[in-house]
Chains A and B, each alone.
Chain A
């Protein structure tokens, strides 16, 4: 059973370009979470999605950032007009439905974005 797959693992963009990060959850998982880890900082929640629905986007910056989890295909975190401060590791996690608060998150290996 493949784990959470993220791609690309490394992405370099120039300021003003767009970054698209993809996440395929584990088989059978319908909940996807995106976290951002800035250099020398902890893990910050960004957004929680279920298929075709954004459940909680309280951690997403109001501008330039968007996320989706379509009925078919991976979840995508999109960053428009990137700036140097967006350089970070972006982690996706998934969990099965109905796992409740006793469940665990399964993390991908992360996508490391560098903005030049």
Chain B
């Protein structure tokens, strides 16, 4: 079945630093890929997604490119802010019908002023 492997954290960066969180996947075919974010005390919310190979998802300054050659979907942001402190999850749907999603273990990001 489908699965994701996500870079382990925690990650601590200074404000305006460059961020990369690695995510690689194993999948049958080319499923959509997702990044979710969980702010402290809240539920997960979709950050961005890419529905096919070579697509780039972007939102709030974050980007991720669906690369089938390297089976990766790394999350990047050029200049992080304190408000980006959260846990980030890479996710993809299972091979079954319906929207069963498998999530990576999550990467905790702390941005310090």
Interchain CA distance A69-B104 in the complex, whole Å = 27
Question: In the assembled complex, which residues on chain A have CB atoms less than 8 Å from the CB atom of B36?
Answer: 107
| Contact B32–A107 (Cβ < 8 Å) | no
Task: Check: B103 CB closer than 8 A to any chain A CB.
Answer: yes
Q: Does B45 contact A (CB under 8 A)?
A: yes
* A108 to B41 Cα, complex, angstroms: 11
Nearest 7 CB-CB pairings of A with B = A107-B43, A42-B105, A101-B93, A43-B103, A107-B44, A95-B99, A109-B43
Say yes or no: is A31 at the interface (Cβ < 8 Å to chain B). Answer: yes
- The digit string for B39-60, where 1 denotes a CB below 8 A from any CB of A, is 0011111100101000000000
> Given contacts A42-B89, A100-B99, A101-B32, are A107 and B105 in contact (CB under 8 A)?
no
| A7, B21: Cα distance in complex, Å | 33
Main DSSP-derived SS at the B contact region? loop
Contact across chains for B99 and A103 when beta carbons are under 8 A apart: yes
Which residues of chain A have a CB within 8 Å of any CB of chain B?
4, 6, 31, 33, 35, 41-43, 45, 48, 50, 55-56, 91, 93, 95, 99-105, 107-110
Give 15 new A-B contacts, CB below 8 A, not counting A35-B103, A99-B99, A109-B41.
A33-B99, A33-B100, A42-B89, A42-B105, A43-B44, A45-B100, A48-B100, A50-B98, A55-B98, A91-B43, A101-B32, A102-B49, A102-B51, A103-B99, A107-B43
* Interchain CA distance A33-B96 in the complex, whole Å: 14
CB-CB < 8 A to A102: which residues of B? Answer: 32, 49, 51
> Size class of B's contact patch?
20 to 34
Residues of B within 8 A of A103 (CB): 99
Alpha-carbon gap, A109 to B44, bound state (A): 8
B102 at the interface (CB under 8 A from A): yes
Residues from chain B with Cβ under 8 Å of A109 in the complex: 41-43
Most buried by A among B36, B49, B100: B100
